[in-house]
A and B are shown apart, each in its own frame.
Chain A
């Protein structure tokens, strides 16, 4: 093996190790330094050392402990140079003295603190997503850039800025107080779900789904559910993502065009994944605190997942679930989805009345969703001219290229 091959092998091994241990390493360092951004910088410097040394020295028996120790030494060296022999330095120095192979094992709470920092409200949504993938999902900057189809430098900047913002706002490395817990956990789940939906139905670009991004979101969701096992919302979010991801194989044609739910080959839905979704929803329900918004959405997805065809779907049940969802999390999109379910349960005329009410409220203005549903309903009522006009409007408003093509096709067929 050449030197370059050996170095490449070590690099790939480190990437794999980082994915498994990265969040925990950063969490330990953040606990020691109180600064998530600094912790991540130190960890990266340690990784750079490993890349330089391991091809020669071989990979240590406990690589995670090695990286953590090296990073901590770097922190101490840094402070020594800066002559900042303060309280934090003494704490780390103490920590280093009783270092052994497993002493670096962090508490789950530290990883949880990391999650809350990455999803803190001082950060923009974009920054929250990038930082969460970076320090909780332990992805490399290159991997994140690939997931979002943007240049590596863009993600780098986003992460550097996010770390600076956390430091500037003096965000403490802590889990939220009980009075803030619900809201802050909601924000974390929101970041994970945003990540998932961007992978599940990309809002822009030439690809309709990015399964890799959605799978990363699902993995982070499972990690989160493991960190807060008593939170039904976390399990419900995992359930929702499992159900939706179970349809990936059926959602696109080989050329990348989207296939809508009604036309999907249900034999291609991932049954094992559907069962995992059911298990996660059962875990949420077992906590006995009622169904939250994610649980209701998961229950709707479950109705679809278990139906052999569109006609055999429990549409009446779905209408009830949307009604409940509309009460606890009212939104025009939920109302529009309820209208679609109503059209299947009772017929297009009743549904059209709901959609028209939404339209006159001015809700969803500028979105392709309303005209595309309206187009479907009109087509089913035989009002073809009007349907064609709606599909044309919808196509003009769609931001995803693949979605636009589907709507244009419908306009032509109507």
Chain B
């Protein structure tokens, strides 16, 4: 089973986190990532840049056409600021790893199982599932040209 750990924090918690020496935070996160890597369960992950950065934006699909705005980021006042992808054998194991993440008050990990092809087995003939398949093939072609 593959899971995505989605790190979310309130703006206040993110502000508060700035009080903690950055190096201390890097060390804690680094140790956590290392434990995932050494256990052989880490498939990937990344942090997301601070929402105040100009490079970020939101596309709002409430209207037609969609509107590109610079926020707000989500209704819950919790910001999505990083993620991990891990592969484990059970939900319990995912709970165990998620609980070890070095986050503080105001932060949450949303943990979601990543869907597999088997989840769409009943829709294999669906036009859009086929398109998805085609898109992945194009990506493969692109990779082969670059590779």
Contacts and interface: CB of A to CB of B under 8 A. Distances in A.
B62 to A, nearest CB: 32
Contacts of A302: 147
B11 interface: no
A17 B144 contact: no
Interface size class for chain B?
20 to 34
Contacts, number: 72
A215 B1 CA distance: 11
A269 B133 CA distance: 10
Contacts of A125: none
A265 B38 CA distance: 33
Interface string B2-13: 000000000000
B110 interface: no
A302 B85 CA distance: 23
Contact of A12 (B40, B85, B92, B147): B92
Interface stretch (A157-165, A306-314, A356-364, A367-375): A306-314
Contacts of A384: none
B143 interface: yes
B105 interface: no
Contact of A16 (B40, B43, B90, B147): B90
A220 B38 CA distance: 10
B39 interface: yes
A158 B45 CA distance: 39
Contacts of A404: none
A307 B146 CA distance: 10
B134 interface: yes
A2 B22 CA distance: 46
Contacts of B89: 16, 19
Contact of A308 (B41, B43, B93, B141): B141
A205 interface: no
B18 to A, nearest CB: 28
B40 A218 contact: yes
A223 B144 contact: no
Contacts of A184: none
A308 B38 CA distance: 33
A148 B143 CA distance: 36
A223 B43 CA distance: 13
Given A222-B37, A226-B37, A267-B134, A20 B144 contact: no
A272 interface: yes
Interface string B23-43: 000000000000001111101
Nearest to B97: A20
Interface string A188-221: 0000000000000000000000000001001111
Nearest to B85: A272
A39 to B, nearest CB: 20
Nearest to B96: A16
A311 to B, nearest CB: 11
Interface in A2-45: 12-13, 15-17, 19-20
B39 A20 contact: yes
B90 A15 contact: yes
A19 B86 CA distance: 14
Nearest to B37: A226
B144 A307 contact: yes
B139 interface: yes
A312 to B, nearest CB: 6
B92 A268 contact: no
Interface in A266-293: 266-269, 271-272, 274, 276
A209 to B, nearest CB: 15
Given A15-B90, A267-B133, A219 B139 contact: no
Contacts of B37: 222, 226
B140 to A, nearest CB: 6
Interface in A294-313: 302, 306-308, 312
Interface in A228-259: 249, 254
Nearest to B116: A249
B112 interface: no
B17 to A, nearest CB: 24
A249 B116 CA distance: 10
A268 B130 CA distance: 11
Contacts of B134: 267
A263 to B, nearest CB: 15
Contacts of A221: 40
B137 interface: yes
5 contacts: A16-B93, A226-B40, A227-B38, A271-B143, A302-B147
Given A19-B88, A271-B140, 18 more contacts: A12-B90, A15-B90, A16-B95, A218-B40, A219-B87, A222-B40, A223-B40, A226-B40, A227-B38, A249-B117, A254-B121, A268-B117, A268-B133, A268-B136, A272-B43, A276-B43, A306-B147, A308-B141
